[in-house]
């Protein structure tokens, strides 16, 4: 993975607080749903105790043009350049495994069953850059509860699209395709964990993981699987793709922790996209109040 250099950081174009952002969307007529299946629903602001009002949104240009999505290539510009290669028509998400009601959902069915919400989250990449993104979607917990996990379910495994015919990055063995990620069940059920279907009040762009992706704001960005086709409740801890590639660098938990350096660089500071200066990285990316209890008693240098 490529480290961010100063000349790769573009100027910040958008500097709005949350209320101004919603007002802008309304004025521009962008309050409509992120997906066709969300048509008729409002881009509603739900009570969100984890929103941090001093955060400034990263520009939409940066968020949609500086991406990691290896299915489309390893360069940060590849996902936006080759976004049209991702085919999302007729998309379905299979939710299966150790549950009483395994179900395969169309995007329309997901939209009808799980109300759309707005969430503004910090997002930090393991490479050292960060952003603040206005996502829209629904809590993963709502989806998992609907299929009724059994008592044997301890983890959640996510599998992304596998389409080497269209996605040029999958024609190379950069990763053992398809991309796989995993969470502990209690992490997946935390209210912060989001299944995102849009950003900036619009449909989720292909380069950002359309039509549905995982967002876990207290973990490094690679834990947020994109273009998900399967969610499986399992008993054993899944081996995620980056664990398989480099377990000494990318372990299962991957919580944002400034005290645990990556093998090749420090994690103590980060550089927000749109800013020249670095700032201190916050434990759990600033969400310790909401998630620290999940790791009580764990050695976070061992379980990194």
pLDDT band at 16 (very low <50, low <70, confident <90, very high): very low
* Whether the predicted pLDDT of 8 surpasses 50: no
Per the prediction, the chain carries an average pLDDT of 86
Q: Which residues of 278-300 are buried (b: 16+ CB within 10 A; e: fewer)?
A: eeebbbbbbbeebbeebbeeeee
- Give pLDDT, residue 171: 96
- pLDDT over 90 percentage in the chain: 81
Nearest of 116, 86, 295, 269 to residue 202 by alpha carbon: 116
**Entry pTM:** 0.84
- Give pLDDT, residue 55: 77
Measured CA angle at 156 (ends 191, 248), to 5 deg: 105
- Give pLDDT, residue 51: 53
pLDDT per position as a tens digit, 52-67: 556 789 999 999 999 9
pLDDT per position as a tens digit, 59-117: 999 999 999 999 999 999 999 999 999 999 999 999 999 999 999 999 999 999 999 99
* Whether the predicted pLDDT of 26 surpasses 50: no
- Give pLDDT, residue 11: 33
pLDDT band at 146 (very low <50, low <70, confident <90, very high): very high
- Give pLDDT, residue 53: 56
* List of domains in the chain: 9-292 (3.90.420.10)
3-state SS assignment for residue 92: strand
Average pLDDT over residues 122-134: 96
| DSSP per-residue codes, 178-205 | SPEEEEEHHHHTSTT-EEEEEETTEEPP
pLDDT per position as a tens digit, 150-197: 999 999 999 999 999 999 999 999 899 999 999 999 999 999 999 999
Report the range of poorest mean pLDDT among 44-53, 64-73, 202-211, 293-302. 44-53
- Give pLDDT, residue 21: 41
* Whether the predicted pLDDT of 224 surpasses 90: yes
Q: What is the DSSP letter of 75?
A: S
* Whether the predicted pLDDT of 15 surpasses 50: no
Q: Which residues of 9-40 are buried (b: 16+ CB within 10 A; e: fewer)?
A: beebebeeebeebbeebeeeeeebbbbebbee
CA distance 115 to 97: 24
* Whether the predicted pLDDT of 49 surpasses 70: no
């Amino acid at each position: 993975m490529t480290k961010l250099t100063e000349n790769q950081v573009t100027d910040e174009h958008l500097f709005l607080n949350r209320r101004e952002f919603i007002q802008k969307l309304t004025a521009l007529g962008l309050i409509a749903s992120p997906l066709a299946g969300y048509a008729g629903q409002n881009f509603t602001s739900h009570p969100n105790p984890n929103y941090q009002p001093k955060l400034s949104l990263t520009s939409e240009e940066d968020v949609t043009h500086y991406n990691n999505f290896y299915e489309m290539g390893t360069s940060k510009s590849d996902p936006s350049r080759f976004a049209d290669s991702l085919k999302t028509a007729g998309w379905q998400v299979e939710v299966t495994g150790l549950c009483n009601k395994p179900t395969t959902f169309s995007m329309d069915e997901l939209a009808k069953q799980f109300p759309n919400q707005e969430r503004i989250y910090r997002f930090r990449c393991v490479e050292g850059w960060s952003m603040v993104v206005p996502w829209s979607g629904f809590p993963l917990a709502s989806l998992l509860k609907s299929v009724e996990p059994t008592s044997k379910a301890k983890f959640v495994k996510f599998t992304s699209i596998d389409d080497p015919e269209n996605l040029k990055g999958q024609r190379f063995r950069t990763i053992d395709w398809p991309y796989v990620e995993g969470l502990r069940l209690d992490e997946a059920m935390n209210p912060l964990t989001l299944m995102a279907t849009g950003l900036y009040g619009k449909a989720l762009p292909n380069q950002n993981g359309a039509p549905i992706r995982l967002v876990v704001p207290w973990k490094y960005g690679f834990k947020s699987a994109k273009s998900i086709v399967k969610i499986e409740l399992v008993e054993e801890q899944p081996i995620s793709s980056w664990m398989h590639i480099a377990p000494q660098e990318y372990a299962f938990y991957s919580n944002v922790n400034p005290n645990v350096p990556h093998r090749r660089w420090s994690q103590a500071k980060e550089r927000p996209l749109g800013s020249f200066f670095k700032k201190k990285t916050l434990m759990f990316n600033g969400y310790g109040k909401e998630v620290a209890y999940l790791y009580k008693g764990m050695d976070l240098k061992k379980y990194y």
